[in-house]
Amino acid sequence: MACVQKDQIKIHLTLKLLTVWAYFIFIFYTGQWAFVSFYLRYLFFFLLFVVTLKALMQFRKLVLFDKKTKWGRIKFGGQITFALLMIWGCIQVINGFSTNEKGIDIAFPLREGFIVHGGNSVLINYHHSDTTSQQYALDIVKLNSRGMSTKDFFRADFSRYAIYGDTIFSPCDGKVVAMKDGLENAPIGSLDNLHPAGNHIILEYDNNLILMAHMLKNSIMVSAGEMVERDSQLDE
C-alpha cells in the first residue's frame, strides 16, 4: 500500500494553514515593523493570501485522513498544540485593543504618527506590566516614505528619525500642572534614572493627568499653571 504524504492529507493542510494564519496575525500586530518597513506586513499578507488560495485549489484532491504510526500521532498532537497556542496568542492580542475601564476623549498629539506600543496587553504594550502610571502609556513614532521610523537601522543620531523635531499639540483643553525642560537629550537606548520622563509636560484634564514625555531640550513653549486649548502647539 502506498504511503500518503503528509501534505496530501486534508487535516494536516488545514492545521498548517490555520497555524500559519494565526502566527501571521500575531506578528502583524506585535512585530516591530517600523524598524524594517511598516508596509512589509501588507506585502506578507498578500503573499500569504496567494499561497493559501493555491493550497485550497488542491484541497478537494487530498485524502481526509491517513492511518498513523505512534510517532505520527505524536507529531500530529504537537501540531494541534502549536495551532491552539497561536490562536490563544491572537485572542490575547485582539482583546488588548479594548478594555472595560472608562476612557477619556483626547486628540492625537501629532499631525502624523503611528502607535508602536499601546493597549490593554503586554503583547502589544510593554508598559502594561507597570500597574501604576504607565499601564496605558503609548509609544508614538512617525514613518518616513519607506514606512520606517528611521532612515537606517538602529541609528543613534536623532536627526535620522522621522519624528525628530515634529510639533506636539495639546490633546485636550487643560491646565499645565507640571513641566520640565532643559534636560540634555538622552542617547537612544539609555535611561536617566533621575528623570525617566526627560523633558515633559503634565496636563490636567477631566480629573486625569496626561503626561507627554521625552521632548527635546528647550523646546517646550508652555509654563506650569498655564491653560491650553485642544490642538494648541506645545513645543517648537
Q: How many CB atoms lie within 10 A of CB 109?
A: 20
Same domain, 30 and 136: no
Cα angle: 209, vertex 112, 221; to 5 degrees: 50
| Residue appearing with cell numbers 490636567 | 204
Residue 72 is predicted with a pLDDT of 65
Same domain, 120 and 183: yes
Check residues 226 and 5 and name the one with the higher pLDDT: 226
Q: Helix (H) and strand (E) counts for the chain?
A: 4, 6
Same domain, 23 and 78: yes
Q: Is residue 225 one of the residues assigned to a domain?
A: yes
Taking the CA of residue 158 as centre, how many other CA atoms within 13 Å lie in the half-sphere pointing to its CB?
12
Model confidence pLDDT, tens digit, residues 173-225: 999 999 999 888 877 777 777 888 889 999 999 888 999 988 888 999 999 99
Question: CA 143 to CA 113: how far, in whole Å?
Answer: 7
Which three cell numbers mark 138?
503609548
Q: Is residue 1 one of the residues assigned to a domain?
A: no
Amino acid present at 70: K
Task: Answer whether 50's CB lies under 8 Å from 104's CB.
Answer: no
Same domain, 147 and 227: yes
Same domain, 64 and 170: no
Same domain, 45 and 19: yes
Q: Is residue 169 one of the residues assigned to a domain?
A: yes
Same domain, 130 and 229: yes
**55 lies in which domain range?**
6-95
Same domain, 212 and 114: yes
Same domain, 10 and 108: no
Same domain, 87 and 109: no
User: Considering 39, 72, 95, which residue would you say is the last residue of a domain?
Assistant: 95
Same domain, 17 and 78: yes
Same domain, 107 and 88: no
Cα angle: 135, vertex 139, 144; to 5 degrees: 165
Model confidence pLDDT, tens digit, residues 121-141: 888 888 887 777 778 888 888
Model confidence pLDDT, tens digit, residues 33-63: 888 888 888 998 898 999 888 888 877 776 6
Residue 174 is predicted with a pLDDT of 92
3 state SS of 205: strand
Phi, psi (rounded to 5 degrees) for 127: -65, -20
